[in-house]
Structure 1
Amino acid sequence: MTASESAEVTAAESYDRLPDAVTEIFGEDATAEQAYDLLTVDVPPASWTAALETARDGLGCTYFDWLSAVDEPGTGFRVCAHLAALPDRSAPGPTVRRLLVRTTVPHEAAVLPSAIGVYAGAGWHERETHEMFGIAFDGHPHLVPLLLPEGFEGHPLRKDFVLAARVAKAWPGAKEPGESEHGGPKRRTMLPPGVPDPNEWGPLKGQLPPAPARPARTARPAGDRPARRTRSASDGSAGQRPVAPPTPPGPAPTADAPWHNVPPTPGTTATPDTPDTPAGGDTE
C-alpha cells in the first residue's frame, strides 16, 4: 500500500468517525451533527483556519466548493464553508464525502481570518461575503467589491438592510416607461415597511422636494347624509313578497257563449270545467 493510499484510508476512516469524534479531531470547543446526508462541524472563530486545515489534511476534503454567510438576528453572522473529498476515479471507492464547516462572529465585530492560505479558491467568495454582509477577512490581499456598483451604500444580505428596490421608483402608482400621461389623478404614494424616504436614502438623497402634506379629512355633517330606512319584523314588511292586484272577473258563460268561446282575461288562463257540447245538444 502506497503512502497516498494509506493517507486516503486514514482520511476516510476519520471522516466516518464523525460526528462522535468531533472534539478529538477538531478540538474541545467543536460540535458536529449529521443531517440530510451532510456532516456539519461548528467551531469557534479562533479555530476557523485550523478547522479548515484539519478538513483538508485530516479528512481529505481537498475540494473547495463555496463560502458564504447567513445573518442570524440576535446571534451574529454564521460563516459557512462547503468542502468535499472526491473519490479516486482510478479505482472503485466510496462516494463523495461532503463537509460543512461553520463558525459564528458577532455583528459588532464581524472579523475572520482569511481562508486563502488553505483554499486559494476562497478569494472571490470572501470578497462577495464581505460586500454582502460586511464581514472582514484578515489577510485577504484584495478585499474590494465584486458584484455591487461603486459607491453602493450598505450590505444587501443583512437582515437590517432597508428595502431599496422602491427607492428609484415610487410605489405604488408610478408609471412604467412608455406609459402615456393621461393627466388623471395620481394614487397616494405609499411606502411599505422597510422602504425609506428616497430623499433621505438612495441615489436621490437630498435632491427631491419635500413631499406635500396630505390634507386632513373632515367629518361630513350629519345633515348631508340621507336617512337609511331599516326594516324590522315588527312593521310586517320583512319577509313578505309583493302581492299582485286582484284581476277583475270576466263575462259569465251563456248559452250563446259557452266556456270555450269566452275570451280569457289578460294574465289568466281559462280552463273549461265541462266538456265541449253544443247548447241544447244531446250527449249521445
Structure 2
Amino acid sequence: MTPEEVGQRLVALLAPVEAAATVSGGQAHSRATVDVPCEGWRAALLAARDDAELACDYFDWLSAVDELAGGFDVVAHLWSTRHRHGVLLRARVRRETPTVESVVDVFPGAAWHERETHEMFGIDFAGHADLRPLLLPPEFEGHPLRKEFVLASRVAKPWPGAKEPGESEAGGGRRPIRPPGVPAPGEWGTTPTPAGAGGVGEGPRGGVPARPARERPARPAREAPVPAAEGPARPARKGPAPAGEGSAAADGGPLPGATGGPGDGPARSGPPADRPSQRGPAATERADDGGTP
C-alpha cells in the first residue's frame, strides 16, 4: 500500500471519529501521518494493529512535541513487518491538562517510551501503572524538553540573543566562537574612514584608516674586506747558521733553516734526533772535539 492508501484506510476504520490523513516528506521514506483527537488515541493504535490490510504489528517509538500555546503533540510510529509500510499517529493534548490514554495494553513496548515522555514533557498517560523517573534523578524538578524550561547552563553562561525564554534578560557576556581563519564581522571588508582620521578614502578592519607604507632607508653597500698585505718571502738559508742564532731559537726566535714569509709551511730545524748525520764520520768527530767541521 502507498502512504496515501495507508492514511485513507486508517481514517475509514476510525469513522465516525474525525481524523485527518497526510503524507510526510522524505520521498521514498515518506510515511502516512494521521491526526486523531485525544479521545481516539488508543482506538487508532488498536485499529492499525488489528486491521488485516494495515497489520502494523511492530511498535517503533513514542514521544511528544511541544507546540507552546497549542499544547503537546503525542506522536507514535507503527510498522508492518508483513506489508512493509508504516504509519505516524498524532494526538493533540491541552497544555493545562496534558493527559492521554496509555497504550501499554496494546503494545507492551510502549511502557518505556511513555515513562520517558512523562518525565521529559510532563504528560500523564492514564492507565500506566509505573510512571516513575527513568533518566533523571528523583529530586529533579521540571521537565527538560519543554520549551519553557531554561537550562542551567544558559543561566550560568548566557548566549547573546534570546535562544530560550528568559535568556535575553540575563544579558550576553559569552563571546561567540568562530572557526579558525574566519574573521569577526568588524575585521573584514572596507567601511568609510572616520572623520579626522589620517588617510583618505576607505580603510580596512572596520573603518580604521589604512596605514601608509613606510619607506625604509636604503642600506649602504657593503665594501669587501681588504686582505692584509703580504711581504716578500724570505729565501731559504743555506749552510751553517751564523753565531748567535742558537740563542735566538732558544728565546723563541726563528729556528735555523726556517723560511720567512707567512704561508711558506712549517720551519725546518735540521735533521731529527733519531736520524744519523750526513756529514760523515770525520766531521762528526771534529764536531765532538770542538773543532770546525
Structure 2 distance, partners of 1:98, 1:132, is 26
Moved over 4 A (4+): 190-197, 228-233
Corresponding position of 2:126? 138
Higher relative contact order, structure no. (Cα contacts within 8 Å, ≥ 6 residues apart): 1
Aligned-pair Cα RMSD in Å? 3.6
State the 1:20 CA deviation.
3.5
- Cα drift, residue 25 of structure 1: 1.6
Cα distance in 1 for partners of 2:132, 2:95 equals: 20
Query: Which residue of the partner structure matches residue 71 of structure 1?
Result: 66
- Equivalenced residue count is 175
Aligned counterpart, 2:20:
31
CA distance in 2, matches of 1:69, 1:63: 19
Q: Retained in 2: the 8 A contact 1:67–1:81?
A: yes
2:35 to 31, 42, 47: 42
Q: 2:56 aligned to 49, 54, 61, which one?
A: 61
Q: In 2, distance between residues paired with 1:20 and 1:166?
A: 45
Cα deviation for residue 117 of structure 1 reads: 1.1
Contact between 2:62 and 2:74, CA under 8 Å: does it hold in 1?
yes
Q: Tell me, in whole angstroms, the C-alpha distance in 2 between the residues paired with 1:191 and 1:19.
A: 43
Cα distance 1:20–1:165, how it changes in 2: closer, same or farther (>3 A)? same
Whether 2:79 is the aligned partner of 1:84: answer: yes
What secondary structure, in the 3-state scheme, does the structure 2 residue paired with 1:17 have? helix
8 A contact 1:49–1:115 mirrored in 2: yes
- CA deviations on 1:55-113 (whole Å, 9 max, x unpaired) are 110121110011000101221111111111102xxxxxx5x111111101011110001
* 1:150 Cα offset (Å): 1.8
| Deviation at residue 165 of structure 1 after TM alignment | 2.2
Q: What's the TM-score once normalised by structure 1's chain length?
A: 0.53
Whose radius of gyration is greater, 1 or 2? Answer: 2
Please, what TM-score do these two structures have when normalized by structure 2? 0.51
2:150 aligned partner, one-letter code: V
**Native 8 Å contact 1:30 1:44 kept in 2:** yes
Contact kept? 2:66, 2:147, Cα under 8 Å: yes
Task: Decide whether aligned partners of structure 1 residues 38 and 196 sit closer, same or farther in structure 2, where only a CA change above 3 A counts.
Answer: closer
Residues in 2 aligned to 1:164 and 1:149: alpha-carbon distance in whole angstroms: 16
Where structure 1 has 5 or more consecutive residues not aligned to the other structure, the ranges are 1-11, 88-93, 172-189, 198-227, 234-238, 243-265, 267-284
SS in 2 for 1:125: helix
- Closer, same or farther in 2 for the Cα pair 1:158/1:21, shift >3 Å? same
Q: What letter matches 1:158 in structure 2?
A: R
Question: Could you give the per-residue CA deviations for residues 27-54 of structure 1, whole angstroms, max 9, x where no partner exists?
Answer: 2410111233211111000000100100
Give the structure 2 partner of residue 250 of structure 1. Answer: none
Identity across aligned pairs (percent)? 47
Q: Secondary structure at the match of 2:92?
A: strand
**Aligned amino acid, residue 129 of structure 2:** P
Matched, 1:107 2:107: no
- Identify the residue that residue 208 of structure 2 maps to in structure 1: none
Contact 1:155 1:161 in 2 (8 A): yes
Q: Cα deviations across residues 238-279 of structure 1 (Å, max 9, x unaligned)?
A: x9xx9xxxxxxxxxxxxxxxxxxxxxxx9xxxxxxxxxxxxx
2:60 and 2:197 map into 1 onto residues whose CA distance is 73
79 and 195 in structure 1: CA distance in 2 versus 1, 3 angstrom threshold: closer
Cα distance in 2 for residues equivalent to 1:78 and 1:195: 20
Once the two structures are TM-superposed, the CA of residue 195 in structure 1 deviates from its matched residue by 8.3
| Partner SS state of residue 8, structure 2 | coil
Contact map agreement 1:38 1:100 (CA 8 A) in 2: yes
Aligned equivalents of 2:42 and 2:105: distance in 1? 9
Match of 2:142 in 1: 154
> Between Structure 1 and Structure 2, which shows a larger proportion of helix residues?
2
Deviations 1:215-250, CA, capped at 9 Å, x for gaps: xxxxxxxxxxxxx966799xxxxx9xx9xxxxxxxx
